[in-house]
Amino acid sequence: MKKFFLLFCLIVISGCTFQTKHRGYVFPQDLETQVESIKTVAQLEENIGAPQVKTIYGDEVWIYYGADENYRGPLPLKYDNKTVLLVWVNGNKIKNIKVLHDEDLPNVIIAEEETKIPAAIELNALQELFNNIGRFSPAGLGQ
């Protein structure tokens, strides 16, 4: 019985991984002081790099994002050290730069269920199977 309990504990403990992965940009520690000296798009791209997203409508805003993704075994995934850099661009000039950290960002909770699509057709497994009949050409016909 003790061997079984020891084996069980060993399996449970081995499932408890502690890992941190960085997602997005790796910003320098002194980001606020570095962005104060940036006045042109060329300086921005040289110091920070190309943005992840540029806005399409309204003012042109370049968006940079970085966060740490923490895996703690069976516990839920957690993000921390989130940083967002927003840069308002006008041609080759920088109009405004704003740095947001964890405490400045709203706490958004992602829902686990799927979003319903209006007018979507939902098929069960049997309907999906019969729906695919005739969609594929027989093997060897080269179509």
Q: Where are the domains of the chain?
A: 40-104
69: left (phi over 0), alpha (psi -120 to 50) or beta: beta
Banded pLDDT at 127 (limits 50, 70, 90): confident
Radius of gyration of the chain (CA): 25
pLDDT value of position 121: 77
Report percent pLDDT > 90 for the chain: 0
| Rounded-to-integer distance, Cα 131 and Cα 53, Å | 39
- Residue-wise pLDDT for 47-79, tens only, equals 888 888 888 888 889 889 888 888 776 677 777
Q: What is the pTM of this model?
A: 0.59
